């Protein structure tokens, strides 16, 4: 079944707000097999909204809308939708009762603007917003569905999760659905992977496809199939997944929405092992990636940001002579950082980085983008030289992801190249 996402708000069009709502709704719809055909953002104007609705309903059977619902006068979506669906606004007592209780709970009285919010289209099914004042609205006409939600992200997300998707999942349409499996890879670029899996891609039936979704340091492969039989689609996805894994298995670090730090962390958790970091050029980015995941204390012990040579010596035990002979950006130094961190911080594994992130500081022998990473563990210590670009932030993020992938390869027993 085709779905459409319509976001309303001048703030989106002029770049004041990033439209994260569309991303969230698209992901929720795709996870349940809906084929999202287009995202459209329009201004807070009647004609823009109605033109957007016309376009959306011509393209899809389900339309999700956010924005333009609230207590202020510029929130016009509700009135436009009522007119569009030939309805009138009527006072919704249940919404007023809920808002009154909510405000009195915090020692406040609801205002007239909140009573205005309770004037809702009579033909709409009202969706309870547990985290805000503006409810969601569900309209149906000629077999098509339009759902309007407030634009506040956490309110929209809870409405999508608690009200909208459960209702959409229960639709018995008998129409074709989209099912996908996202395979997460690191270690090779999009073009190299495409060459390696060319035979599998060529063998896919017409209703199946592979999409390449490259990001800095990683590539997501979205294997998709369309059909009406869930069991058949699941078997198809598994069959071609196995074919892909046989060709690029050493590149796969996870599936779905998992990030590489969480994937490495899960491997460490299963092995009951720990990791520490010794970061110079990445400035704590690897540690940040680990701690962004709940439960990371089970495997991540902590880390050291040793930017200066003095701290490399005093905190990590890098020999002064190593720094004199080879410099801070060298294989010998990064190996000493990793082994020192592992020994001094008492972990099973240590990740170390040292390099020239840029945009300045490079030399002819060591240009900007020269970066060393090392992994120390029970198996020994390995190091790898990266040749990155000149963008500082990209170099930092790329190095952190590459370092995490090196540890992932060690944990998976794959030779580090």
Q: What residue ranges define each of the domains in the chain, with the CATH number in brackets?
A: 2-169 (3.40.980.10), 177-255 (3.30.70.2860), 263-411 (3.90.950.20)
Question: Is the pLDDT score of 111 beyond 80?
Answer: no
* Structure tokens, 266: 């899960």
pLDDT (0 to 100) of residue 174 = 63
Stretch 338-348: mean pLDDT? 98
DSSP letter (8 states) at residue 118: T
208-215 and 177-186 as β-strands: parallel, antiparallel, unpaired? Answer: unpaired
Stretch 16-35: mean pLDDT? 92
Question: Is the pLDDT score of 74 beyond 60?
Answer: no
| % residues pLDDT > 90 (the chain) | 83
pLDDT (0 to 100) of residue 105 = 82
Question: Is the pLDDT score of 398 beyond 70?
Answer: yes
Question: Is the pLDDT score of 133 beyond 90?
Answer: no
User: Among residues 59, 69, 77, 78, which one has the least CA distance to residue 4?
Assistant: 59
Stretch 344-371: mean pLDDT? 96
Angle at the Cα of 194 (from 228 to 383), degrees rounded to 5?
A: 125
Concatenated DSSP letters of 44-104:
SSHHHHHHHHHHHHHH-SEEEEES--SSSTT--HHHHHHHHTT--EEE-HHHHHHHHHHHH
Which one has a higher pLDDT value, 257 or 170?
257
Neighbours of 45 (CB within 10 A): 14
pLDDT (0 to 100) of residue 405 = 97
pLDDT (0 to 100) of residue 298 = 98
pLDDT in tens, 171-203: 866 678 889 999 999 999 999 999 999 999 999
Contact, 321 vs 300, CB < 8 A? Answer: no
Which one has a higher pLDDT value, 312 or 115?
312
pLDDT in tens, 142-172: 999 999 999 999 999 999 999 999 999 888 6
pTM across the whole model: 0.80
- The torsion angles phi and psi of 381, rounded to 5 degrees, stand at -125, 130
pLDDT (0 to 100) of residue 72 = 52
| Lowest-confidence pick of 83-87, 129-133, 181-185 | 129-133
Stretch 310-336: mean pLDDT? 98
**What span, in angstroms and rounded, lies between the C-alpha atoms of 56 and 38?**
8
User: Among residues 219, 230, 237, 220, which one has the least CA distance to residue 180?
Assistant: 237
pLDDT (0 to 100) of residue 100 = 87
Question: Is the pLDDT score of 73 beyond 60?
Answer: no
pLDDT (0 to 100) of residue 70 = 55
Question: Is the pLDDT score of 337 beyond 80?
Answer: yes
pLDDT (0 to 100) of residue 91 = 92
Q: Does an H or E element contain 400, and which?
A: helix 392-411
**pLDDT-based confidence at residue 417 (cuts at 50, 70, 90):** low
**pLDDT-based confidence at residue 69 (cuts at 50, 70, 90):** low
Stretch 32-57: mean pLDDT? 95
Q: Note the helical H segments in 309-364.
A: 309-316, 320-326, 331-345
Question: Is the pLDDT score of 292 beyond 90?
Answer: yes
Stretch 108-126: mean pLDDT? 86
Q: Does an H or E element contain 372, and which?
A: strand 370-377
Residue with tokens 């634009």: 151
**pLDDT-based confidence at residue 314 (cuts at 50, 70, 90):** very high
C-alpha distances in angstroms, 17 versus 20, 47, 200? 9, 22, 41
**pLDDT-based confidence at residue 333 (cuts at 50, 70, 90):** very high
Stretch 311-322: mean pLDDT? 98
**pLDDT-based confidence at residue 110 (cuts at 50, 70, 90):** confident
Q: Indicate the average pLDDT of the chain.
A: 93
Q: Please write down the HEC assignment for all residues of 237-287.
A: HHHHHHHHHHHHHHHEEEECCCCHHHHHHHHHHHHCCCEEEEECCCCCHHH
**pLDDT-based confidence at residue 75 (cuts at 50, 70, 90):** low
């Amino acid at each position: 079944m085709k779905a459409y996402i319509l976001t309303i708000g001048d703030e989106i069009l002029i770049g004041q707000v990033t439209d994260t709502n569309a991303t969230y709704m698209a992901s929720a719809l795709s996870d349940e097999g809906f084929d999202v055909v287009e995202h459209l953002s329009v201004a807070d104007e009647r004609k823009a909204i109605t033109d957007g609705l016309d376009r959306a309903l011509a393209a899809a059977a389900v339309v999700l809308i956010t924005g333009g619902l609230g207590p202020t006068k510029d929130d016009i979506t509700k009135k436009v939708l009522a007119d569009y669906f030939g309805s009138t606004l009527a006072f919704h007592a249940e919404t007023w009762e809920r808002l009154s209780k909510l405000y009195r709970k915090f020692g406040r009285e609801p205002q007239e603007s909140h009573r205005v919010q309770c004037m809702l289209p009579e033909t709409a099914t009202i969706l309870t917003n547990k985290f805000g004042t503006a409810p969601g609205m569900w309209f149906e006409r000629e077999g098509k569905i339009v759902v309007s939600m407030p634009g506040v992200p956490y309110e929209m997300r809870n409405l999508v999760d608690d009200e909208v998707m459960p209702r959409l999942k229960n639709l018995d349409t008998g129409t074709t659905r989209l099912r996908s499996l996202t395979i997460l890879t690191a270690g090779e670029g999009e073009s190299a992977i495409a060459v390696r899996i060319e035979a599998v891609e060529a063998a896919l039936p017409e209703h199946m496809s592979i999409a390449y979704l490259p990001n800095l340091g990683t590539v997501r492969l979205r294997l998709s199939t369309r059909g009406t039989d869930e069991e058949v689609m699941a078997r198809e996805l598994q069959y071609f997944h196995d074919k892909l894994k046989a060709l690029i298995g050493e590149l796969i670090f996870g599936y779905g929405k998992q990030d590489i730090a969480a994937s490495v962390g899960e491997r460490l958790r299963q092995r009951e092992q720990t990791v520490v970091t010794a970061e110079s050029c990445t400035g704590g980015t690897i540690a940040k990636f680990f701690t962004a995941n709940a439960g990371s204390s089970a495997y991540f012990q902590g880390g050291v940001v040793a930017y200066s040579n003095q701290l490399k010596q005093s905190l990590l035990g890098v020999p002064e002579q190593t720094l004199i002979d080879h410099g801070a950006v060298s294989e010998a130094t990064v190996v000493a950082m990793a082994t020192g961190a592992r020994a001094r911080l008492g972990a099973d594994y240590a990740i170390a980085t040292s390099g020239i992130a840029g945009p300045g500081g490079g030399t002819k022998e060591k240009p900007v983008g020269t970066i060393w990473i090392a992994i120390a563990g029970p198996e020994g210590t390995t190091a790898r030289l990266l040749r990155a670009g000149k963008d500082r932030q990209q170099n930092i993020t790329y190095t952190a992801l590459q370092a995490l992938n090196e540890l992932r390869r060690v944990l998976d027993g794959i030779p580090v190249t």
